[in-house]
Amino acid sequence: MCMEIRDNTLYFDGCDTTALAKTYGTPLYVYSQTALEGRFQALHTEFLDKWENTRAAYAAKAFCTPALLRLVRDAGLCVDVVSGGELTCALSAGFPAERIEFNGNNKLPAELELAVENGVGRIIIDGLQELSLLESICARKGKRMKVLYRVTPGVKADTHDYIITGKKDSKFGIPLDEDIIYPAIKAAIDSPWVDLLGLHFHVGSQLFEVRPYLEALEVVLGLVKETWTRYRFAMTELNVGGGFGIRYTDEEPRGYGWYLDPLMERIDAFFRELGLPRPAVVTEPGRSVVGEAGITLYTVGSIKDIPGVRKYVSVDGGMTDNIRPALYQAKYRAIAANKAEAPADETVTVCGKCCESGDILLRDAALPALEAGDILAVLSTGAYGYSMASNYNSNPIPAVALVKEGRSGLMVRRQTWEDLLSTSCDPGL
């Protein structure tokens, strides 16, 4: 994570975190460019350079800003977007449209129009109505788009229920019922407005097992084979999703190859047996790219010690900048940035400043004795922090800084109280 301790102070990619807090204020998201570049290189080494005819599409939902997407672009990756906003961000970052893949359920007509107008590389169709909507837009604009179908393989992964996406009871994907999936495939094959390339699946997030990927792959390969048998239609692309787990507390992350090599070996063998060329294979890492590359800095405020019950340490952020503990009961590690070598001899609960009892960032955390004004660094917050931030209680969204080898700069400025009013209108009634 590019972290080190010097003179009782936490440094992140060569930068004194207490100085960052003073320069940019807190709460503050901080990303290490060195760590990000290391993840990009790992994707190349363990997947893209190892296996021919492959792509990696960074899942922008994990963290999406123009500055970040420029780094993704320059690393030779594609980008997976799920909204018109993420698509606009990618385009504004100079991302080549052919390297943009548009995913997500319930894409709005305006979003699909934007995708078609800009000629994005792939549209991953999430439902039957979406095909008809896309065809009507393509017909109106005289364009033909490359598409995949997202399917629901019916596999339950071992993770939090809210981040399971591959089971049958899911809002994502097309179920594999005989009377649903094959008419959908035939409709796409016959369409003059779309070029069906293949299939997409995603089983869940923060996974540490290969089993659900392999189980889902077998289901999807069965669909590939049956499509060939029925229609003599050969799939030319498979998207196996992402969801690779990272370290938040004591987890043991696996390399990309650990997940993807068994999938690639099975795909290679399957298509050899079928007598067809192996399709392009795409993966969609998000959390695993940015998660451990980011930390969040807070300033300690009030401290409430309830004897025999709990000691609360309040910070100047909370669920508005990191909703995951409240939403998923997610757990994190933290370091007292200005007391990094002090013994962690207190057990405290770190809470935010929102008017919610559930605004807890860390429960029963071992930390040094903290005082108002101390700087607390919460680790592995690079994914789904800024991207899920809110203005609840009219709190401004924090700034985002990028650091590399002792240098720093802003990726996103801090919202002001005036920003919160900038979209307000007088209805004049």
Active site residues: 355
- Those residues with Cβ within 8 angstroms of residue 203's Cβ, 6 or more apart along the chain or in another chain: 153, 155, 157, 164, 165, 166, 212, 213, 216, 241, 243
Nearest residue to 317 (alpha-carbon basis) of 417, 251, 391: 391
Dmax over CA atoms of the chain, in Å, equals 73
Per-residue tokens: 119: 């000629």
Task: Tell me the C-alpha distance between 227 and 231, whole Å.
Answer: 6
**Terminal CA-CA length for the chain:** 54
